[in-house]
Amino acid sequence: MEEKRPTIAELMDFPCDHVFKAFGPGTGRGAPFAAKVHQAVCEVVVVPDDALKLRESRQSGYVCVSVLVHVVNADQVAGIYSALKKVEGLLFLL
């Protein structure tokens, strides 16, 4: 018998703040990738530029873009993950 996996709505209390992390290529400051991540998130929920935090690897080969988003339901969380999966250059998503 297969166990049912919990849904996003069962795991999170809404509304809440949620951090999405996207890893991709870092070119100097990682700005091109970060801009694509910001645009993808804004397709679902508009967030200000200061909601993004960038952290580059030591040699600037990779960048982690963290985005703090105030989400009001599970559909927004799923929509943001869906939009982020389409970002060119995405290597890993948390």
The model's pTM: 0.90
Q: For residue 12, give both structure tokens.
A: 């999170």
Report pLDDT digits (tens) over 82-91: 999 999 999 9
Q: Given this model, what pLDDT does residue 29 score?
A: 54
- Token pair 């509304």 is found at 15
Of residues 8 and 41, more confidently modeled: 41
- Has residue 26 got a pLDDT over 90? no
Q: For residue 72, give both structure tokens.
A: 């009001």
> What number of CA atoms fall less than 13 Å from residue 61's CA on the CB side?
3
Report pLDDT digits (tens) over 39-88: 999 999 999 999 999 999 888 889 999 999 999 999 999 999 999 999 99
The amino acid that residue 30 corresponds to is: G
